[in-house]
């Protein structure tokens, strides 16, 4: 397929990547827009990793009320400059993260924040379940670790599949935005409210 200017522009409009990067990705993907987006995403994640140690002292507090007003979310998302915080791309990310929290109900931002008590409890449950299922003793540890990985995916925001595109994790979504906007981005904390839930609201933090 011919890689013409219109196709390059189409990819650029969708991703925000530079013209040369878009053309290179399209050549690699043989003109397939969807595959070219994957190529750009992978390269973006690589470049985003280099920015992950930068300090994030700007940002916004975002909020989202789910249809029916039964669930509400507040989240603090940080970046490096007030300029980026005001961009449409950053605001879109904050909104998407708020919707993710409303829909998927994560308990922590990232796996490093899972409390030891919660982890021990989940490990005991996974081991007991495996024993009840008659799994061989020699593979119990492997089974437990596999189920803990699934547990992290359920309770940690960064590990969860994005509700709008489940082939992408939230961590990958954020890294793609970092690559596009050129600044480090981090989730500082969030709180999720549900009508009728009288327990203590879960608020989590992440050090950028």
Q: Which residue has the tokens 């904390």?
A: 189
For 58-110+156-205, CATH number? 3.30.479.20
CATH homologous superfamily of 5-49 equals Ubiquitin-associated (UBA) domain (1.10.8.10)
Please report the pLDDT score of residue 16 as a whole number: 63
Number of Cβ within 10 Å of residue 45's Cβ equals 16
Q: What is the C-alpha separation between 20 and 111, in angstroms, rounded?
A: 37
Which residue in 125, 117, 118 sits closest to 143, CA to CA? 125
The token pair that represents 102 in the structure block: 């409303």
The domain ranges of the chain are 5-49, 58-110+156-205, 115-153
CA atoms within 13 A on the CB side of 191: 8
Q: Are the beta carbons of 37 and 167 closer than 8 angstroms? A: no
Residues in the chain: 208
Q: Are the beta carbons of 85 and 59 closer than 8 angstroms? A: yes
Q: Which CATH number fits domain 115-153: 3.30.70, 3.30.110, 1.10.286, 1.10.3720?
A: 1.10.286
The token pair that represents 59 in the structure block: 């940002």
pLDDT in tens, the chain (208 residues): 678 888 888 887 777 666 777 888 889 888 888 888 888 777 765 556 566 667 778 999 999 999 899 999 999 999 999 999 999 999 999 999 999 999 999 999 998 999 899 888 998 999 898 898 888 888 888 888 888 888 999 999 999 999 998 888 999 899 888 888 888 999 999 999 999 887 544 444 444 4
Q: Are the beta carbons of 202 and 191 closer than 8 angstroms? A: yes
Please report the pLDDT score of residue 203 as a whole number: 43
Which residue in 45, 34, 46, 18 sits closest to 169, CA to CA? 45
Please report the pLDDT score of residue 47 as a whole number: 59
| 58 DSSP β-pair partners | 79
Please report the pLDDT score of residue 46 as a whole number: 52
């Amino acid at each position: 397929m011919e890689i013409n200017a219109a196709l390059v522009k189409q990819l650029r409009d969708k991703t925000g990547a530079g013209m040369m990067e878009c053309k290179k990705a399209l050549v690699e993907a043989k003109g397939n827009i969807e595959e070219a987006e994957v190529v750009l995403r992978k390269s973006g994640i690589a470049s985003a990793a280099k920015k992950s140690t930068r300090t994030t002292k700007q940002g916004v507090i975002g909020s989202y009320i789910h249809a029916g007003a039964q669930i509400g979310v507040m989240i603090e998302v940080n970046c490096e400059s007030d300029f980026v915080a005001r961009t449409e791309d950053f605001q879109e990310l904050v909104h998407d993260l708020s919707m993710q929290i409303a829909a998927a109900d994560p308990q922590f931002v990232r796996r490093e924040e899972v409390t030891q008590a919660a982890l021990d409890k989940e490990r005991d449950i996974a081991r007991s379940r495996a024993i009840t299922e008659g799994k061989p003793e020699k593979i119990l540890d492997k089974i437990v670790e596999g189920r803990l990985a699934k547990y992290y995916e359920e309770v940690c925001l960064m590990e969860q599949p994005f509700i709008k595109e489940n082939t992408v994790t939230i961590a990958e979504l954020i890294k793609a935005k970092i690559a596009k906007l050129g600044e480090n981005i981090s989730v500082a904390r969030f709180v999720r409210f549900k009508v009728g839930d009288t327990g203590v609201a879960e608020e989590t933090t992440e050090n950028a």
